[in-house]
Amino acid sequence: MPTDPTVSTPTSSTPTVSTPASHAVPAADVTLLLDRLSARLPADALRTDSEALAAHARDAAPFSEAGTPAVVTLPHTAEQVAHILRTAYELGVPVVPQGARTGLAGAANAIDGCIVLSTARMDQILEIDPANRLVRCEPGVITKHLNDAVAAHGLTYPPDPASWERCTIGGNIATGAGGICCVKYGVTADYVLGLDLVLPDGRRMRTGRDTAKGVAGYDLTRLIVGSEGTLAVVVGATLALRPARPAALALLAQFPSLTAAGDAVAAITAAGHIPSALELLDRATSQAVADHGHGLLRPGSAATLIVESDTADPASDLHAMGVLCKEAGADHVHAASTPEESRQVIEARRLVSPALGAFAATLGGKPTAFIEDVAVPRSELPKFIGTIEEIAQRNRLRIFTLGHAGDGNLHPTVVFDESDPEEFRRAENAYDEIMAAGLALGGTSTGEHGIGTLKREWLTRELDPASLELQRGLKRLFDPRNLLNPGKVVEA
């Protein structure tokens, strides 16, 4: 997941969803709904006060539709989740699952009259199994808390989205989250061995296995990962673990051109190196971090690469990659020799959020950011970043591009004044132009954030008609009444 600048999410100009009549709960039936829910839920698991309804109306996505739920449910157990879904199914009420609401595509946004089903209170780590290198947990466990718990056993859970101190395992599974280290260690889907689920009609089921290998039947586990709560609600997960990562060293390389930085990425990959992080900052982002006071970044660079190695001999590996950066044209390379120096190098990536927040504070009005998520072939990175810079100039905006150069997943971030209608319009236009440019280069509309409501139109442009129809058919198979997170990803 990308860095999340500390600026507000667009709200005042964001349209609200026009909920189909079949999804709205008639006022006279709300009492019946609450009575049915409360029959098997504790009092603290039901919230209808305006504060709770507003707080659970949306996730962190800009430009995305959101409505007002009829009730927020906060179950503690899988049985309570089953009761909520069974009740909703019988009464024809839509259900929107939510985790920590850190998502950036609108997948957790409420629709008018729905039941919000928050799994935040299902936050128990049920079992850590060092012998089999797996952990079982509930969906509300915060990602960092899980990693801290398994670290005590000499193990690690590698996926590390930028919001890992707040986001939950259930949300990570719903979106197929990635992170900085995914270039070497993979994404959430690579670690989900099995899932405990509740289907839209309230039935319980389990997918997957605990064994290291297994190919019995269709891979329903992989189908659920990334489905954004549209097919089933995750109430438990079995996740694979790895041995704790060895100590890492990092280097920072700056380049006079985007092409040179792209050549360095290609050279590192071609030479067989597998860095544990390979992050790229464009000119605007490099300058913002330098202006924010990072001592290692020199101002005026067209691009910055941050490379980390955690091999058995990271110093040697880092030296070799530093040579490749210089051969590609880097005019400033700083290789760390100690863990403390490495932390300072990596801090350049961590500082992007406060650096963009500091820039936003200079705008006046109501500073806002939207964070894009487009992946292109690695070979197209320089061209894509150059196109983004052209889009910024054409729309008279500041767009800061950063991302995971190792796998071609970039996060262009537009910082603008939401209170200015004309600037808001230009920001929306830039968003569409970035999406179109990514697809034109053979890319995809989302690498790790998901589709939600924000990218439904772009999904229809990306998939061929046969693929789109099969995806709609899967939605109908799991959810024939279209009650579970309707309007997200694909329309049934």
Domain final residue pick, 118, 153, 183: 118
Same domain, 408 and 278: yes
The tokens for 40 are: 């098997």
pLDDT reading at 4 higher than 80: no
- pLDDT value for 25: 66
85-89, 115-119, 191-195, 385-389: segment of lowest average pLDDT: 385-389
Same domain, 326 and 368: yes
- Of 103, 101, 121, the residue nearest 47 (C-alpha): 121
Domain final residue pick, 118, 137, 172: 118
- pLDDT value for 65: 85
Q: Is residue 182 within 8 Å of residue 222, measured between CB atoms? A: no
CATH number at 78 reads 3.30.43.10
Same domain, 420 and 317: yes
- pLDDT value for 58: 96
Q: Across residues 9-25, what is the average pLDDT?
A: 42
pLDDT tens-digit map of 454-465: 999 999 999 999
Residue 356 lies in a domain: yes
pLDDT tens-digit map of 185-238: 999 999 999 999 999 999 999 999 988 888 999 999 999 999 999 999 999 999
pLDDT tens-digit map of 139-177: 999 999 999 999 999 999 999 998 899 999 999 999 999
Same domain, 262 and 408: yes
- pLDDT value for 255: 97
To the nearest whole percent, how much of the chain has pLDDT over 90? 85
- Of 250, 260, 249, 308, the residue nearest 282 (C-alpha): 260
Same domain, 399 and 259: yes
Same domain, 286 and 309: yes
pLDDT reading at 250 higher than 90: yes
Domains held by the chain: number: 3
Same domain, 260 and 236: no
pLDDT reading at 7 higher than 70: no
Residue 397 lies in a domain: yes
- Sorting pLDDT into bands at 50, 70 and 90, what band is 474? very high
Helix (H, G, I), strand (E, B) or coil at 112: coil
Residue 389 lies in a domain: yes
Same domain, 155 and 190: yes
Same domain, 307 and 218: no
* Site of tokens 């290291």: 212
CATH number at 169 reads 3.30.465.10
Same domain, 291 and 383: yes
What value does the mean pLDDT of the chain take? 92
Antiparallel, parallel or unpaired: β 115-118 and 71-73:
parallel
Q: What is the 3-state secondary structure (H, E, C) of 131-163?
A: CCCEEEECCCCEHHHHHHHHHCCCEECCCCCCC
pLDDT tens-digit map of 359-370: 988 888 999 888
Q: Which domain holds residue 227?
A: 125-243
Residue 6 lies in a domain: no
DSSP code of 340? Answer: H
Q: Across residues 269-281, what is the average pLDDT?
A: 95
93-97, 209-213, 251-255, 342-346: segment of lowest average pLDDT: 209-213
Residue 460 lies in a domain: no
SS3 content of the chain, % helix, strand, coil (to 5): 35, 20, 45
